[in-house]
Structure 1
């Protein structure tokens, strides 16, 4: 999908598409560049099998889709969209967007907004009645970004490290 609007001034058109296994090194690099998340992502070759297993599991699950945003042939962003059936909202599906990341060299160019609008449209097209996300309390800039896109702070989140 080509994205216009705020990206019109860019040299290359932005495309957002389903990720392929060949995109994995670039996706890992984008995730590893995150200095706030603390997820332990790394470009170390020894970690590659972990990422390959996760990629295969995501690709095999019809409720999961991993996307990449590309400027020309370069992967500059990524996010994962989960469509989850639920009994809530009279059986309306819920969408969850995770791991929203833009490469540090591509930030401030509207790529994150384009990815999120794409995620919203994709979630609607897949029958979701709600799109949710979680964001670290330390990401105050990201919180303002999501609020500008219409997201509302509605829940208090909890997590428990299992390993």
Structure 2
């Protein structure tokens, strides 16, 4: 395997990112790779916000992974700044290669660099393989999450 680079995502990366977001049963229900307009608009908003870090993992000129890291200043926990990791995806051909671990390690290191004292993430209740992966990296299932669609 070639060298891996983790770098900020660009608008040119959006088709590859959306393809990875859509490449599982849950993503296939909620993503629309045939219309990139909303994704490009979202990327522009994210790229303009210094608290948002959407990155891709690139190997041999090909996008093979992605995640979003959000830095959240807060008052609780004595004013702790936390990081939220979302939208972790690894290309199907790269799963099991250690790429997911490299992406999460990058995110944790970046969170530390940004002054975060806590890293959190959520994962759909049906993604049991992902839960085992996160636990192997030291994450603990500690809260119950709730969502309200608007």
Q: Which TM-score applies when normalising by structure 1? A: 0.88
Q: 1:83 touches 1:96 (CA, 8 Å); kept in 2?
A: yes
Equivalent residues in 2 for 1:73-152, closer than 5 Å:
73-152=61-140
Cα deviation for residue 88 of structure 1 reads 1.3
Deviations 1:65-90 (A, max 9, x none): 10001112110110000000000121
How far apart are 1:37 and its partner, in Å?
A: 4.2
* Deviation of the 1:38 alpha carbon: 5.8
Give the Cα–Cα distance (whole angstroms) in 1 for the partners of residues 134 and 27 of structure 2: 17
Q: CA RMSD in A?
A: 1.1
- Asked if 1:21 is matched to 2:11, the reply is yes
1:50 to 19, 25, 38: 38
1:7 corresponds in structure 2 to none
In structure 2, list runs of 5 or more residues that go unmatched: none
CA distance in 2, matches of 1:17, 1:94: 21
Unaligned runs of 5+ in 1: 1-10
TM-score by length of 2: 0.96
**Which whole-Å deviations, capped at 9, do the CAs of 1:72-131 have from their partners, x for residues lacking one?**
211011000000000012112110000001111211100101000000000000000000
Hey, what does 1:5 align to over in structure 2?
none
